Structure 1
Amino acid sequence: MKLNIVPARTGVLWAKQGIRTFLRQPLAMSGLFFLFMASLSIATLFPVIGPAIALALLPAATLGLMAATQQADRGKFPMPIMLASAFREGPQVRKSMLILGSLYALGFLLIMAISSLLDGGDFAKLYLVGGSVSEEVVTQPGFQTAMWVTLVLYLPLSLMFWHAPALVYWHGVSPVKSLFLSMMTCYHNFGAMLLYALFWASLFISAIVVISLIAVLVGEPKIASMALFPIALMMMAMFFTSIYYTFLDCFEATPDPSKAVAPENLSDGML
């Protein structure tokens, strides 16, 4: 397997490829994304361990969306079963994916534990359990510090797992090695990853601004709240569709020398 270093402008291309593929199969990719969100939401309903289960399933579920994108890119209609691709490839891949999911859950919960030391657990409780908090709690310095520390610590965790599920699934890389390779590839392609993130951030902000302006012009503020949610979900589906292309350009499978055809055999076959 070869790691590729791509130009920074490739980050914008990844996003555009994701949007294009989504528009080829909008119903399928939207449905799969909603199923993806629903599956993780259902997992959180289990008492106590629900959030941990959802976190552990996230790498495998993300891989499922990537496999569905591959099918859509080839002109095929991705079926819902694609979301379970990580668990249908065989016992070795299934085991590796479960290990990867466990490592992700442990890493994320460790970050939440660190943030709890800063604000008594208010931010972690809001993020993991949900619910509502008062404006007084949100504006407290401890809560703000916990939020920013969580964001800073989550960045390296995200980069470690960005390509890891795909490396395990398509290249048979071990879970720990996949984390290292993912981090190194993101580091060496920092320019492309940065433009990729900026493109999506700009697109989300632009959508919010346009919807808000339309609501102001027509004099119906409720339009903004009604339209923003479905549009945000559709854009999130496009974003997850584009993740496959960030992997596709960063790694290249190298041929197995043991499977190469010997020159004399090739000549014999041509005679």
Structure 2
Amino acid sequence: MKLKIVKAGTGLQWVKLGILTFFKQPLALTGLFFMFMASVAIASMVPLLGSALALCLLPAATLGLMAATQEASKGKFPTPTILLSAFRAGRQRLNAMVMLGLLYAGGFLIVMGVSALVDGGAFAKAYLLGEALTREAATSPSFQTAMWVSMALYLPLSLMFWHAPALVHWHNVAPVKSLFFSMVACLRNFGAFTIFGLAWMGVFLLAGLAMTILSTLLGSPELAATAMLPMALVMASMFFTSIYFSFLDCFDADPVAATEILG
């Protein structure tokens, strides 16, 4: 495995490939993303350990969506069982993925713990436990500061886990090493990931604007509100589809890994 440095414009290509691949299997990929979200939501409902369990599942679930994208890119229909790819790759890689999940949960809880030092835990409780907030509490300076602190700390955590599930699953990289390689790949390709993020922000804004204009032309303000959830589901599915292509371009696989990745 070798790190690849790509041009900044490649980030736009990842967005394009994600959207085009999504439309090869739109129902399957949207359904799988919904199942991904539902499984995380159900796991979070487990008493006491629900939030931690849901966090532990995220790397494996993300890998499942990447595997589904791999299938769709080859014109195949990804079935729901593909979400379990991380759990069907042998004991060694299963253990590595479990360790990756524990590391992600630990990192995220540390982020929430730091935010709790700012506002006494109000933001962490609202985010992790779904506690109701008054408008005054949500707009308080301490709550807002805690939110921004969490976002700032979550960014490096996100970069460490961006490629990590795929590196563990397809390249058999050790969990801690996968975090390092993922962070380095994201930083060395900072331009491409910046363009990638900005392009997706533009896509989301344009989709929202188009829906608002359509509802206005039809004289039905309720249309935008009604369509918001399914539209968000589709857009999020497209976004996760594009993640797979960022992984392919950031790492030069050896012949064995390339066979596994590209089929």
TM-score between both structures, scaled by the size of structure 2: 0.95
1:249 alignment counterpart: 249
2:260 alignment counterpart: none
One-letter amino acid of the structure 2 residue matched with residue 45 of structure 1 = M
- CA apart distance, 1:219: 3.2
2:3 alignment counterpart: 3
- CA apart distance, 1:209: 1.8
One-letter amino acid of the structure 2 residue matched with residue 185 of structure 1 = A
Q: How many angstroms apart in 1 are the aligned matches of 2:171 and 2:231?
A: 35
One-letter amino acid of the structure 1 residue matched with residue 190 of structure 2 = F
For structure 1, the residue ranges without an aligned partner over 5 or more in a row are 257-271
2:212 alignment counterpart: 212
1:224 alignment counterpart: 224
- CA apart distance, 1:131: 4.0
- CA apart distance, 1:201: 0.8
2:170 alignment counterpart: 170
1:196 alignment counterpart: 196
- CA apart distance, 1:213: 2.5
Larger Rg: 1
1:155 alignment counterpart: 155
- CA apart distance, 1:205: 1.2
1:261 alignment counterpart: none
Secondary structure of 1:68's aligned partner: helix
Secondary structure of 1:230's aligned partner: helix
State the aligned residue count.
Answer: 256
Q: How many angstroms apart in 2 are the aligned matches of 1:111 and 1:248?
A: 29
Q: How does 1:50-69 map to 2 (within 5 A)?
A: 50-69=50-69
For structure 2, the residue ranges without an aligned partner over 5 or more in a row are 257-263
Q: How does 1:68-83 map to 2 (within 5 A)?
A: 68-83=68-83
1:95 alignment counterpart: 95
- CA apart distance, 1:79: 0.9
- CA apart distance, 1:255: 4.5
Q: How many angstroms apart in 2 are the aligned matches of 1:126 and 1:97?
A: 28
- CA apart distance, 1:220: 2.3
- CA apart distance, 1:215: 2.6
2:137 alignment counterpart: 137
2:38 alignment counterpart: 38
- CA apart distance, 1:210: 2.0
State the identity %.
59
Cα shift readout 1:28-83 (whole Å, capped 9, x = no counterpart): 11111111111101101101110100000000000000011111111111111100
CA 1:132–1:216: 2 relative to 1, 3 Å: farther
One-letter amino acid of the structure 2 residue matched with residue 156 of structure 1 = P
Q: How many angstroms apart in 2 are the aligned matches of 1:48 and 1:200?
A: 36
- CA apart distance, 1:216: 3.0
Secondary structure of 1:142's aligned partner: helix
Cα shift readout 1:146-203 (whole Å, capped 9, x = no counterpart): 0000000000000000000000000000000000000000000000001111111111
Q: How many angstroms apart in 2 are the aligned matches of 1:233 and 1:183?
A: 28
CA 1:169–1:118: 2 relative to 1, 3 Å: same
- CA apart distance, 1:254: 2.6
One-letter amino acid of the structure 1 residue matched with residue 194 of structure 2 = L
One-letter amino acid of the structure 1 residue matched with residue 91 of structure 2 = P
Cα shift readout 1:88-129 (whole Å, capped 9, x = no counterpart): 000000000000000000000000011011111111111111
Q: How does 1:91-130 map to 2 (within 5 A)?
A: 91-130=91-130
Secondary structure of 2:220's aligned partner: coil
1:29 alignment counterpart: 29
Q: How many angstroms apart in 2 are the aligned matches of 1:155 and 1:77?
A: 33
1:259 alignment counterpart: none
CA 1:53–1:21: 2 relative to 1, 3 Å: same
2:19 alignment counterpart: 19
Q: How many angstroms apart in 1 are the aligned matches of 2:33 and 2:86?
A: 16
